[in-house]
Amino acid sequence: MPVQKVRVRLKINGQDKELEIPSNLTLLELLRDELGLTGTKEGCGIGECGACTVLLNGRPVYACLVLAPKIDGREIITIEGIGQEGKLHPLQEAFLNHGAVQCGFCTPGMIMAAKALLDENPQPSKEEIEEAISGNLCRCTGYLQVVKAIKASGSGKKGEV
């Protein structure tokens, strides 16, 4: 049976879009395969690694677990939507400066989870940071440098992108 198509409107990284998509598409497939936003990574594909974390109306979600038709009328921010042309976001700078990136596969998801935290709580404790990234797995750097980087980039500027 052919897959039904549905029309969705969304704001992605500040741009309004109207798309016709298969009703069974995940948000992760929409981002990577339809929109070419490959900064969001696919690790497990089943909600266990956090590599696909993006912000949905400001909250971190696993894009592999969200059906794309459900995002109609919502706002998505991916790793491509933070920072500016030629200027890294403070979190990206801090990850580099604190040696919090090795292979980098987990990094976009970690940064989006961290951004959600800092937008709500610009000066989190170590425990709050650990809690915020507890759904993001890293197989090579470990977590110490990541926690230090997030702590260092807490700027107190709510909503900065």
Between 32 and 89, name the residue whose CB sits nearer to ligand FES. Answer: 32
| Residue placing its CB nearer to ligand FES in the complex, 42 or 130 | 42
Residue 26 CB, shortest distance to ligand FES, in Å, is: 9
Q: In this structure, what token pair is assigned to residue 110?
A: 């970690």
Stretch that binds ligand FES, among 6-14, 40-48, 84-92, 147-155 (CB under 6 A): 40-48
Question: Interface with ligand FES includes 140 (CB under 6 A)?
Answer: yes
Query: Taking a C-beta distance cutoff of 8 angstroms, is the pair 39, 92 a contact?
Result: no
Nearer to ligand FES, 15 or 61 (CB): 61
How many H helices and E strands in the chain? 5, 5
Locate tokens 């042309």: which residue? 85
Binding residue count for ligand FES, defined by CB under 6 A:
23
Is residue 143 involved in binding ligand FES (CB under 6 A)? no
153 contacts ligand FES (rule: CB under 6 A): no
H-run or E-run covering 8: strand 5-12
Rounded Cα gap, residues 12 and 55, in angstroms: 10
Q: Is residue 90 within the footprint of ligand FES (CB under 6 A)?
A: no
CA 161 to each of CA 41, 138, 143: distance values in angstroms, whole numbers, following the listed order: 20, 24, 23
